[in-house]
Structure 1
Amino acid sequence: MKLLMKAPAKINLSLDVLNKRADGYHEVEMVMTTIDLADRIELAALNEDKIKIISHNRFVPDDQRNLAYQAAKLLKERYDVKEGVSISIDKIIPVAAGLAGGSSDAAATLRGLNTLWGLELTVNEMAELGAEIGSDVSFCVHGGTALAQGRGEMITKLPAPPNCWVILAKPSIGVSTADIYKNLDIQSIQHPNTNAMVNALKDQRYDEICRHMGNALEGVTLKLHPEVLHIKEQMERFGADAVMMSGSGPTVYGLVHHESRLQRIYNGLRGFCGQVFAVRMLGDE
């Protein structure tokens, strides 16, 4: 039996870091939404009791470092599953990009194996398992648009943003989230207004969503990687309605309401940036 799953990327509309917790993690408040840029995951039952990762992307590990592998292993151990699975990952989302590609692969694996292995877990149960794998996995299990709190595992669903275009540009570097947090000075953070972003989504105010976009990690990444700042400045110059880095970076995205402006921004970015995407919001999927 085979199962095909879609693993969409996310962007942060807002990302705030409140403090460092006793367990070493940071307390965060993030408003996230899914976009129509997705990896494709194929799950196939194996006759032998093993987990096999197949990927043709050299940046995707095919062992226990892979979050999809960890998701399958967690389910096998927690629910005493004796069946094996082959997990094929068609990687479309850039790696180490601040778009939760690995987390989304893990979430898709949890959802798919829940069906394949007949575990009958609820979405909340899968999200709790996801929190054991990584901070963004719980959100990716739920998908759509949500406020994520705690270290990312406390999920409150929100209305989808008004439909618009999202342009993403990733420079040819990867960014380690751990490194960014290590260089973060909690005392000097510029905190975004999370409540204002939540209200803007509830009121379906595109202008207010653009106005209240903010990322507490952006200053650290821009300082360490000037090429990210260059992309942000160019995207603003080309006419995006609002521009921000997603997650710990290095991907920068811009929101564009009018399609007439889209091609100009896309072409301008392609002139100096290798990975550029123009996609729609998914929002409520």
Structure 2
Amino acid sequence: MLTFPNAKINIGLRITDKRPDGFHNLQSCFYPVGWTDVLEIIPADQFGFASSGITIPGDEPGRVDANLCVRAYKLLRADYPGLPPVQMHLHKIIPIGAGLGGGSADAAFALKSLSERFGLNLTADQLENYARQLGSDCAFFIRNQPVYCTEKGDVFSEIGVDLTGYYILLVYPNLAISTAEAYAGVRPRLPDVPLRDQLLEPVSIWHKTVHNDFEDSLFPKYPVLPAIKQQLYEAGAVYASMSGSGSTLYGIFDAPIVIPNQFRAYRVWEGKPGAGK
């Protein structure tokens, strides 16, 4: 079974407070985009996992149990002992440490694929509950639709954000930023206006109101990030931002994009918003 786990972007990200369990509460909008990995899962005589493409930290021989796809399989097999062995092959394309949720998408698509391929008939709610055990934003990729996120980023509600008719340009500046590094610099605070209210305003004014709190500490540390954001606006973006806690910058455009030459040294993706196929 072949699937294409897709990335997401954060439209706004406010860190509101630190939780007793050490995590942070946040407000954000997750929106799917079509930059994808490739995941193949087929029945096998014994379980196996292999990867190609971008090197995945922790996937060295003998350490594949760290991979979220492997953990997804073992999580299901603990509850469904009859789940047969499989061979997994992940071709990694979505950059790592980029704020795009690629690893979380891989895990969620593994759960969905295993349920469908082997007739587990798990509901979306059941799959989300499994996904939450693997990572805070894994559950988003089960339904893979735009949502407003609160708490750890794993509590979802509907929001009327629709980027149909727009175009997205993602720019990954060959710089991985770990979640731990990103959160080390944040100062939680409640925004004066809830992010949900700002997102319901026209996209054309988001540049004045919708903010990613990680930019406050990471932009001074990595000057390439604000430089790319400014270049996106100069290229015609109606809104530009960092995505999540990673290093990818994205621009939302109201017309097809001509990729600026200064981005050719980076990894880029451009297309219409929405989930991969």
TM-score after normalising by structure 2 = 0.90
Aligned pair in 2 of structure 1 residues 236, 208: CA closer, same or farther (>3 Å)? closer
Distance 1:6 1:105, change over 3 A: same
1:27 partner amino acid: N
Q: Which residue of 2 aligns with 1:126?
A: 127
> Gaps spanning 5+ residues in structure 1: where?
none
* Whole-Å separation in 1 of the counterparts to 2:171 and 2:193: 22
For the residue of structure 2 that corresponds to 1:24, the secondary structure is coil
Aligned to 1:268: 261
Displacement of 1:56: 3.8
- Asked if the contact 1:51–1:73 (Cα under 8 Å) also holds between the matched residues in 2, the reply is no
Q: Does the alignment pair 1:30 with 2:32?
A: no
Displacement after TM superposition at 1:256 (Å): 0.4
Between the aligned partners of 1:131 and 1:249, the Cα distance in structure 2 is: 20
After TM superposition, the structure 1 = structure 2 runs for residues 100-249 of structure 1, keeping only pairs within 5 Å, are 100-159=101-160, 160-187=162-189, 193-200=194-201, 205-209=202-206, 211-249=208-246
- Deviation (angstroms), 1:161: 2.5
Aligned length: 272
Query: What is the CA–CA distance in structure 1 between the aligned matches of 2:197 and 2:99, rounded to whole Å?
Result: 23
Q: Contact 2:203–2:239 (CA<8 Å) still a contact in 1?
A: no
Q: In structure 1, how many angstroms separate the alpha carbons of the residues matched to 2:11 and 2:255?
A: 19
Moved more, 133-142 or 54-63: 54-63
Contact 2:239-2:253 within 8 A present in 1 as well: yes
2:37 alignment partner, SS class = strand
Counterpart of 2:55 (choices 32, 55, 58) is 58
Cα deviation code 1:225-250 (max 9, x no counterpart): 22112211222222211110000120
State whether structure 2 residue 94 is matched by structure 1 residue 93: yes
What CA deviation, in whole Å up to 9, does each residue of 1:88-140 have, x standing for no partner?
A: 11222112110000000011101001112221111111111111111110111
Give me the whole-angstrom Cα distance separating, in 1, the residues matched to 2:234 and 2:246: 20
Say if 1:211 and 1:162 are closer, same or farther in 2 by CA, change over 3 A: farther
User: Residues of 1 paired with 2:188 and 2:263: CA distance?
Assistant: 35
The Cα shift of 1:82 comes to 4.4
Task: Indicate how the Cα distance of structure 1 residues 34 and 82 shifts in structure 2: closer, same or farther if over 3 A, else same.
Answer: closer
Structure 1's 40 and 157: CA in aligned 2 closer, same or farther, altered over 3 A?
Answer: farther
Q: 1:192 to 1:64 in 2, by over 3 A?
A: farther
CA shift for structure 1 position 179: 1.4
Q: Residue 13 of structure 1 aligns with which residue?
A: 11
Counterpart of 1:41 in structure 2 is 39
Provide the C-alpha distance between the structure 2 equivalents of 1:81 and 1:153, rounded to a whole number of angstroms: 29
Q: Equivalents in 2 of 1:144, 1:123: separation in Å?
A: 12
Output the CA distance in 1 between the equivalents of 2:221 and 2:15: 18
Cα distance in 1 between the residues matched to 2:44 and 2:5: 22
Could you tell me how far apart the structure 2 residues matched to 1:233 and 1:93 are? 23
Residue by residue over 1:27-63, the C-alpha shift from the partner in whole angstroms, topping out at 9 and shown as x without a partner, is 1111111011111211111112x24233243235431
Q: Where is the helix percentage greater, Structure 1 or Structure 2?
A: 1
CA distance in 1, matches of 2:191, 2:221: 17
Instruction: Report the CA distance between 1:199 and its aligned residue.
Output: 2.5
Change (3 A) 1:239 1:42: same
Q: Supply the distance in 2 between the matched residues of 1:193 and 1:116 (Cα, whole angstroms).
A: 41
